[in-house]
A and B are shown apart, each in its own frame.
Chain A
C-alpha cells in the first residue's frame, strides 16, 4: 500500500529552512501545505527549501500553492526554492509547463550548499 497522507516536516540547516514534503499533494490537502508555507514565511524565514524527494505525485492544486507561496516569498523578501524534483514528479512539472516557473535545484545537499553561501 502506498503512503497516502501528505506529511510536511521542517528541519534547519543554518539559514535554510528545509520543508520536506512526502506523500501526495492533491486538491484535498494542497491548502494544508500552503498554510504551512505561509506560516513559515510570516514567521520571518528568509530561505525556504521545499524538498520533493518523497513526494509520490502532485496535481495542479499543488502548483497553485507553489505559485502563491512564490509570490508570498517575494513580498517577504524571502527565497523560495525547490529541490529533488525527480522522476514522475518532474514529469508532472514538465507537463504542467511549470519547470521554468520556479527555482529548482538538484539534491537537498546541493541546494543547501548553494543557498548557505548566498
Chain B
C-alpha cells in the first residue's frame, strides 16, 4: 500500500557497477508505489545511473571495497536524491560542458553523462563535508500520494 509523503529510502551501494541494479529496482518500486509519472521517473533512472556509476568508477582510484549511500526522498512536489561517498573530493557540477562538434565529427566518449544530468534535474548542489562528497539532486514533479 502506498505510504505517506515525504517517504525516504536509504540504500547502500558497493563500488561494483552491478549494484546499480539495486538502485534501478528501488526507483521502480517507488515509482509504482507513489505513481510517479513515467517521464520524470525514467529521467531519474538516467540521473542515478550516471552519477552513481561515476562514483563507483572514479571515487576510489585505489580500488578495495567501498560503499556509497544513496537516499531517495519522495515528496509531493518531486523527488530528491542524495548521494554520499567517502572517496576523493569531486564536484561534478564543475565538470566542463562538452564542446559541440560540427556535424560529421564524432565526440570522444566521456563527460556526456554529467552534462545530461544537469539538464534532467531542476536543482543540483554539491558539498564536501567531513571528508565526504554530498551530491543532492532534485527533480520536481507532482506526486499524488494515494490514501491507505
Contact with A along B16-46 (1 / 0, CB 8 A): 0110110011001000100000110011011
Closest CB of chain A to B44's CB: distance in Å? 10
Q: Given A59-B46, A59-B49, A95–B109 Cβ distance below 8 Å?
A: no
Closest to A65 in B: B109
Number of A-B contacts (CB under 8 A): 82
CA–CA, A2 and B115, complex, Å:
26
Q: Is the interface of A mostly helix, strand, loop or mixed?
A: mixed
Do residues A67 and B107 form an inter-chain contact, with CB atoms below 8 A? yes
Do residues A24 and B45 form an inter-chain contact, with CB atoms below 8 A? yes
Do residues B53 and A61 form an inter-chain contact, with CB atoms below 8 A? yes
For residue A78, CB closer than 8 A to chain B, the reply is: no
Q: Which of B32, B42, B115 has the most CB of A within 10 A?
A: B42
Contact of B112 among A26, A56, A97 (CB under 8 A): A97
For residue B65, CB closer than 8 A to chain A, the reply is: no
Contact with B along A13-28 (1 / 0, CB 8 A): 0000000000010111
Q: Which of B25, B43, B109 has the most CB of A within 10 A?
A: B109
- Tally of chain A residues near chain B (CB < 8 A): 27
Do residues A97 and B106 form an inter-chain contact, with CB atoms below 8 A? no
Closest CB of chain B to A67's CB: distance in Å? 5
List chain B positions with a Cβ less than 8 A from chain A.
17-18, 20-21, 24-25, 28, 32, 38-39, 42-43, 45-46, 49-50, 53, 98, 100-104, 106-110, 112-113, 115-116, 119-120
List chain A positions with a Cβ less than 8 A from chain B.
1-2, 4, 24, 26-28, 56-61, 63-64, 67-68, 70-71, 88, 92, 95-98, 100-101
- Ordered by A's residue number, 18 sampled pairs between the chains whose C-beta atoms are within 8 Å are A2-B38, A4-B25, A4-B28, A26-B53, A57-B43, A57-B45, A59-B53, A60-B112, A61-B49, A64-B109, A67-B106, A70-B106, A95-B115, A95-B120, A96-B116, A97-B107, A98-B107, A100-B102
